[in-house]
Amino acid sequence: MPENNERSYPPRRRRRRRVNYTAIIFWLVVVLLVVGFIAVMLHMTSKGPGDETTGPVTEPSTEATVPSSEVTEPSTAPTNPPVTQTGSATIGATGDMLMHMPCINPAEVGDGTYDFTPYFTHFEEYVRAVDYAVANLETTLAGLDAGYPYHGFPNFNCPDGIVTSLQDVGFDMLLTANNHTYDTQTTGFFRTQQVIREHGLDHIGTAESEEDDNYLIKEIDGIRIGMICYTYSNLNGDKVALNGGAALPDHVSPLINTFLPSDVQGFSDDLEEDIGNMRADGAEAIVLYIHWGVEFQLKQNYEQKALAQAACDLGVDVIVGGHPHVIQPMDLLTSTTDEAHKTICLYSTGNALSNQRLGNLSSVKTAHTEDGIFFSFSFAKYSDGTVRVENVELLPLWINMYTSSQTGKRVYDILPLDKDVEDWKTQLDLTDSTLAKAEDSYERTMEIVGEGLQKVQEYLSSLPAVE
């Protein structure tokens, strides 16, 4: 028996409790969801209003996605519009109107009036064909009231009828800066400009006041062309002198665009200022008319070349030379400061009208003084603002002189030697003898300018084409 009367029980086996795994998993999921929800909320409330991740909540779409049958065109970058031509301007320039008395006398029609238009009978249609025609008026118009008679060399004074006739046949501007500008002194200097202005023509090279521009901006078909005219001069002491060496008065000297041929830098400085003024006034192209060189020389001299290069370096587009009374070559110059810039230069246009004929001058041994040129050049403007020379043409001229069967007077006739005209004899009303002389004149001219003209035209034809 057990001691102490204790009841002995067999030991109880502990029952293992069955674990309810379904409930555990349920509550675990609930806890995880709650914790996850709290974490998300805490994360969202920690972002500031400017945080880049904050934004509207997009509701999920409940619509079924249907494949689109549309073809989306690829996006293309905008293209610049094509460059097109917007304007065109053709200028025609001829040589010296050197008014000797044998040229003046046949034009008298009575009552003290003079008509020179018959001299231009055959030439007029070419003058009118350009947009703007220019000639060098190598004489003064002093009238007769101041005591100056009509006169040729050496002090030129011509009737006003020459301006009337030049206007009637289509000229638009006269150049008035040359070595004969002051031949009839102050009277002729100012009156010449007044007569030209009264006829409605432009002129450059001289001015009536220092307040006047010493250049002209001419707008033709939307192209603003700056034009300026200079003449060579001499010095009398420290004063400017022209024909005959007499010093110009102080009140006249500043009114003429002059230069010393040997002072290339001085010429360049003056021209640079003038071009700057023209550009400031809107000039898109620059033409320089210049009286220079040596009379009767068939080639340009060193000074002409240096002056032309200086003008090219300053951006001049076209140079039209005069004074030698014979034709001199054409050339294409390249700027030493900008290789892309070219200047077309005709060193001398020769005579347009004069009595300098073979046999009349001891210093002239050939008929080159009977030859002239009508030099036409065309500017084009494009929609991108570019303005450039597009074309040049040289029309040889021959000054025919003959005796009129009607009046018995010697008559002058400026004949255009146009190669596109097949029958000069019929078209220009020539005899066999005059036809031969006209053909000789053409050959003389082309021998001088032909090579340069070809060089210029080849360059122009190489420029990029624009529609």
pLDDT tens string, the chain, 467 residues long: the values are 444 433 333 333 333 333 444 545 555 655 566 556 565 555 554 444 444 444 444 444 444 444 444 555 555 666 778 899 999 999 999 999 999 999 999 999 988 899 999 999 999 999 999 999 999 999 999 999 889 999 999 999 999 999 999 999 999 999 999 999 999 999 999 999 999 999 999 999 999 999 999 999 999 999 999 999 999 999 999 999 998 788 999 999 999 999 999 999 999 999 999 999 999 999 999 999 999 999 999 999 999 999 999 999 999 999 999 999 999 999 999 999 999 999 999 999 999 999 999 988 888 889 999 999 999 999 999 999 999 999 999 999 999 999 888 888 889 999 999 999 999 999 999 999 999 999 999 999 999 999 999 999 999 999 988 76
Question: What confidence tens digit (pLDDT) does each residue in 199-223 have?
Answer: 999 999 999 999 999 999 999 999 9
Question: What confidence tens digit (pLDDT) does each residue in 225-271 have?
Answer: 999 999 999 999 999 999 878 899 999 999 999 999 999 999 999 99
Cis peptide preceding 154, ω within 30 of 0: yes
Question: What confidence tens digit (pLDDT) does each residue in 130-154 have?
Answer: 999 999 999 999 999 889 999 999 9
Reduce the DSSP state of residue 38 to 3 states and report it: helix
Reduce the DSSP state of residue 401 to 3 states and report it: strand
| 218 CA to centre of own chain | 11
CA distance 354 to 118: 15
- Buried b / exposed e along 361-385 (16+ C-beta atoms within 10 A): eeebeebbbbbbbbbbbbbbbeeee
Are the C-beta atoms of 328 and 311 separated by less than 8 Å?
no
Question: Residue ranges of the domains in the chain?
Answer: 85-462
Res 50: pLDDT: 44
Reduce the DSSP state of residue 106 to 3 states and report it: helix
Res 5: pLDDT: 39
Are the C-beta atoms of 306 and 268 separated by less than 8 Å?
no
Are the C-beta atoms of 387 and 380 separated by less than 8 Å?
yes
Are the C-beta atoms of 256 and 181 separated by less than 8 Å?
yes
Question: What confidence tens digit (pLDDT) does each residue in 164-205 have?
Answer: 999 999 999 999 999 999 999 999 999 999 999 999 999 999
Give me the residues paired with residue 400 across strands: 413
Query: End-to-end alpha-carbon separation of the chain, Å?
Result: 136
CA distance 239 to 185: 15
In 3D space, the residue among 44, 36, 105, 96 whose CA is nearest the CA of residue 292 turns out to be 96
CATH superfamily of domain region 85-462: Metallo-dependent phosphatases (3.60.21.10)
Q: Please count the CA atoms within 13 angstroms of the CA of 348 that sit on its side-chain side.
A: 29
